[in-house]
Amino acid sequence: MPVTQNVAPGAPGIPARWTSSAKSGVGTSLSPAGRIWFTISHGILNEIYYSRVDSACTRDLGLIVTGAAGYFSEEKRDATHSIEPFEDGVPAYRLVNTANDGAWRIEKRILADPARPALLQEITFTALRDYRVYALLAPHLVNAGMGNTAWVGEHEGKPVLFASGRGSCLALVSSLPWRTGSAGYVGFSDGWQQLHNTGELDAAYQRAEDGNVALTGEIGFSAARNKALLALGFGATPEEAAEHAFASLKQGFEPAAKSYLQNWRNWQKGLLPLDRHAVPGINFYRVSTAVLATHRSIAMPGAAVASLSIPWGFNKGDDDLGGYHLVWPRDLVETAGGFLAAGDAASALQILDYLGSIQQPDGHWPQNAWLDGSAYWPGIQMDECAFPLLLAEALHRAGHLPHARLAVFLPMIERAAGFVVRNGPVTGEDRWEEDAGYSPFTLAVEIAALLAAADLLDACGKPDAATYLRETSDVWNDQVERWTYVTGTAICGQVGVEGYYVRIAPPDSASAGSPKDGYVPIKNRPPGDTNRPAEQIVSPDALALVRFGLRAADDPRMIDTVRVIDAQLRCDLPQGPLWYRYNGDGYGEHEDGAPFDGTGQGRPWPLLAGERAHYEVAAGRREKAASLLAALEGSAGPGGLLPEQVWDGADMPERELLHGRPSGSAMPLVWAHSEHIKLLRSLRDGAVFDMPPQGVKRYIEDKTVSPFRTWRFNNKIRTVPAGKTLRVELLAPATVHWSTDNWATAHDSQTVENDFGIHLADLPVSGLPKGSTLTFTFFWPGAGDWENVDFSVISGDQDSQQTFPR
């Protein structure tokens, strides 16, 4: 094979795209020496990640078959595909791709070499007549399509296909040496174009620089040799990548497979036996545990990405560097819960350690981040800032975080709790990454997390701080209904209920009598169709009030809300019912099946069937929860991987959209697999596995209510119920100048700073007659200025009990 360096024409290639997010397999070696993560769909390898799980280095690696009379066939497009793991819980795969015209059959075995950063693909090619087989590889070494360089070269006299970009290199070699090789620009001079147009590779195309490039090599199959082993090695230099590839090739497939299987068997052996074979050939529990473990980082123990996929990746280019291979703190805590439910407390502890390492100085966590903790999207979601507190307390309560170790996490706990109490209860974004305001889901996590943190602070000898956290939890819990529960709406009349919890109520504004009177912008809808009244938007998010122990499953308000959720959001599919995120959602394919492109139409989420099943567990309806488990598992793809969404329309085979089957969204969604494991554990235990006990005791059993109402700049209450003390909370020291008789007389109260940097003053107005107005303003000694704005709160009716009796 020539070693000339003739540059191919067509630079820099067509705009780069990622590939399908509908994975049928994901895997890694569980070995520190490996540093390879791989994905599979349509019978071929897709994104391969090296040396970090957040850095995709390829688009795909598949085969092309050519023959006489212009025969051209591509295995990912022109074949039927099957996939199965080597054994339960081991993400090494056997693939069979059979040509639609019956002309050939390709059998593969794929795994990552545990001894080095290399991927092994054993290929057996069977055909009816003489064909030629080519490997086609699209490097994305810069975690994007553009900016890569590819060339045909040699290593110690043996032919190699090379690529490089941003300090990483790859080398693709074959046990049946490449007969010919080519490097070209995608869409112009790549191997696909050459073989499709002429049936031959142009030996002159030996190099393609700084663009969207592809490598192609002809595998040396013959009538006597129909099996080949491809090794894709990675390294910091071309030489290192080639050395890894050839070392893996020399070692052979079987020794690598033996070590790979043993690593996975050893890990799976330590887990609880929650195995479930609902479908022949698929142990869904072991699939889920393998998915969780496959998405972990090696370089940063405890880190795990949300999915080794890019939703609708075939429609996305270099403007989407992160896809879902980023760390979401919420997803990561859910992942920790999955590990904990499966009996792997060590992995959950590693996650808590990692979360501590990427916590920001003010106590919050980024909306999502690269492995090193650097933020990707700029939003702040209050549930993500509270979830780590729930994880720490769950580990402590289960005995996995003894007192000496708990002390190590105390600064993290204090910073997180402080951020939540200073910035809650309003969130900048809800868990669907969209809207600000009062979300029942976020409120449930915040309140439960503050109660959990209070227990941890008590254990660390900080009773005053713990008391304040509980007081804040009580104040917020008392107002969940005031913020998010509506009655007498059109939906109430349609469904025949008194009221229900809304998806989210916008932050307080002067133009709305209460948050529920405001409008919610649905940002994934077309322009002109975004703002909807808050009372019209419902979501399964309200089930979190039960999941996190704040409301009983048989609370009449919850029962009515569930009826509304089912009337508005339930979708009955062949596998059973699933639910939409909220009515009016635009995150999903368009009505014609075109991919989500910033707008679309929301589709059902299997994850939400798991959350609904947990509500049924809490309500004592085990059989109903078990049927929803079946619906969740029935939504999986052919390899048992759970998608983010499924297609709810009529079959569109031309778009690979089939009714009730995975859509073009992320697959696998690690969060869904975590929920699956927790549901298996909850069904085994007969109780919701991750329900914190503090809220159940405090609000459902003891019916605790707060003696306070809190006024703060992000929650300017307009009324204070009779009998309650008005607590003013500020982020700087101040004198509260106040009057109850329209300034005929005035009083001054100095704020006092607490453990969390909050400056508060309790105004003794609990005895004010109904209808009285308390007026107040602030003097800021630090600046020497008055606020120059008067605020007022009216004394209202006696506060009603916030929980119905069981």
pLDDT of residue 255 exceeding 80 = yes
The pLDDT of 422-431, averaged and rounded, is 96
pLDDT of residue 170 exceeding 50 = yes
- Share of residues in the chain with pLDDT > 90 (%): 90
Model confidence band, residue 5 (pLDDT cutoffs 50, 70, 90): low
Q: What is the pLDDT of residue 803?
A: 37
Model confidence band, residue 775 (pLDDT cutoffs 50, 70, 90): very high
pLDDT of residue 323 exceeding 50 = yes
- 692, amino acid identity: P
What is the per-residue pLDDT across 129-156, written as a single tens digit (0 to 9) for each?
Answer: 899 999 999 999 999 999 999 999 999 9
Contact (CB, 8 A) for 665 and 651: no
Burial of residue 510 (number of CB atoms within 10 Å: 0-12, 13-18, 19+): exposed
pLDDT of residue 680 exceeding 80 = yes
Give one DSSP letter per residue of 242-273, joined into a string: HHHHHHHHHH-HHHHHHHHHHHHHHHHHTS--
The DSSP letter of residue 700 is I
Contact (CB, 8 A) for 536 and 521: no
What is the per-residue pLDDT across 733-772, written as a single tens digit (0 to 9) for each?
Answer: 999 999 999 999 999 999 999 999 999 999 988 888 889 9
What is the per-residue pLDDT across 548-562, written as a single tens digit (0 to 9) for each?
Answer: 999 999 999 999 999
Q: What is the pLDDT of residue 314?
A: 87
Q: What is the mean pLDDT of the chain?
A: 95
Helix (H) or strand (E) holding 17: none
> What are the phi and psi torsion angles at 422 (to 5°)?
-80, -30
The pLDDT of 627-653, averaged and rounded, is 97
Q: What is the pLDDT of residue 804?
A: 34
Q: Which residue, among 471, 442, 440, has the nearest Cα to 555 in the 3D structure?
A: 440
Q: How far apart are CA 399 and CA 223, in angstroms?
A: 63
